[in-house]
Amino acid sequence: MNTVRLFLFDDRRARRWAPFTLTRPAGEILYGCLTLRERAESVFGAVCAGHVSRSALRGFDEVGGAPTVKLEDIGTHGTRILLSSRAAPKLGSVAVPDQASRLILDGETVGWILPDGVALPSELWLRDPDAAPTDLGEAFALQGTLLGRPWDLVTSNAACILEDVATLWGEADDAPDVIRVGEGAISLGIGAEIEPGVHVDTRGGPVRLAEGVRVEGPARLTGPLFVGSGTRILGGHVGTSSIGPTCVVRGEVADSILLGFVNKAHDGYIGHALLGRWVNLGAYTTNSDLKNNYRPVRVWTPEGDVDTGLMKVGCFLGDHVKTGIGTVINTGTVIGAGSNVFGGTMPPGAVPPFSWGSGSDLRDHDRDKFLSTAGLAMGRRGQELTAGVRRILEEAWDAKAGPRASGP
């Protein structure tokens, strides 16, 4: 029997999706109702055997995710599907062809299907930066979206939720006794609960609450909205967003993506934002997502500042970022993984990873104290700082920290 193995690879652009791919493969980022990895697994009907990413992410062993692998681990045995982690194919099964094929999305080659014995192509974004793109195999078109920058996930996320819910849960309507506006579906996973007094507005799209979600009143949910398993919404206005598993959310969240295990247990506004895992927001933490002059927002990237061409862009917070009480975050701000910003003074538009301080007075977060705190925070949610992720965080600190004085 021919085995089919699926691999996701981070191309040169995905590897620069700051601040997220410093600590995780791009395929482990939430988009719509699924991570990019889960989306590929659903489309091709195969479990992801691994991510081909930066060498600094070797050993990635986050619970529930796929590991990282080397190119040589892919080999030539069996059918192999290689897909760019920036590709978000539309859900629906794909019949994998028997012959070598190039996967095409939005007019670009985003991967290959390689039959048994066929070697890996020496393609631009896999190995040799000087290699010309290969024409290996017949073109095989995919429907969906090819994501360019982190803000592309945010701007197209609501539409993705609409399609995902229709495909995964159809028109099933499990509407409880809530105050309801609109005819869109309210879909509840096993054990999901909405308390009396909650308003649900489905005029713009459906609301899907995964297994074990609890929504406490008073709150207002606005679709399209996806809330991951085990998350608690403690009140406020939450809508047009994807919220990953085991988050705690209160206040206002709009047009945003929270990857998972985010603690926003207090009031404050988060809008048009992308938050990594294990982010902890102090009470009244608020981000701006619109400039006073209504001009397009510029965002820092590893290649320099980029004009997004968008009027509404919030913030981008890496894994394990923490904010103090009353923190205000400016439009388009990027805060690197492991940073702790506080003091009520707005941080700069680009905060280096593992920063500690107030405003522009930033030092290096003490590595051992950061790791101890990360382990304690994860333990409170029944999770463990695995050896592989710990090593990734240590190496990221060693590579990015150093020029500033150390903080507590």
Q: Which CATH class is domain 152-400?
A: mainly beta
Over residues 181-190, the pLDDT tens digits come to: 999 999 999 9
Residue 408: pLDDT over 50: no
pLDDT at 405: 42
Residue 285: pLDDT over 80: yes
pLDDT at 395: 94
Residue 320: pLDDT over 80: yes
pLDDT band at 171 (very low <50, low <70, confident <90, very high): confident
- The whole-model pTM stands at 0.95
pLDDT at 27: 98
What does the pLDDT average to over 373-396?
96
Over residues 215-252, the pLDDT tens digits come to: 998 999 999 999 999 999 999 999 999 999 999 999 99
What does the pLDDT average to over 315-332?
98
pLDDT at 165: 96
Q: When comparing pLDDT for 123 and 267, which is higher? A: 267
pLDDT at 123: 72
Q: When comparing pLDDT for 31 and 138, which is higher? A: 31
pLDDT at 147: 97
What does the pLDDT average to over 37-60?
96
pLDDT at 402: 46
Residue in the structure block whose two tokens are 């974004």: 125
Residue 25: pLDDT over 60: yes
Percent of the chain with pLDDT over 70: 95
Q: Do domains 4-148 and 152-400 have the same CATH topology?
A: no
pLDDT at 96: 86
pLDDT at 355: 96
- Annotated domain spans of the chain: 4-148, 152-400
pLDDT at 401: 55
pLDDT at 28: 98
The per-residue pLDDT of the chain, averaged, comes to 93
pLDDT band at 404 (very low <50, low <70, confident <90, very high): very low
- The CATH number given to 4-148 is 3.90.550
What does the pLDDT average to over 85-101?
92
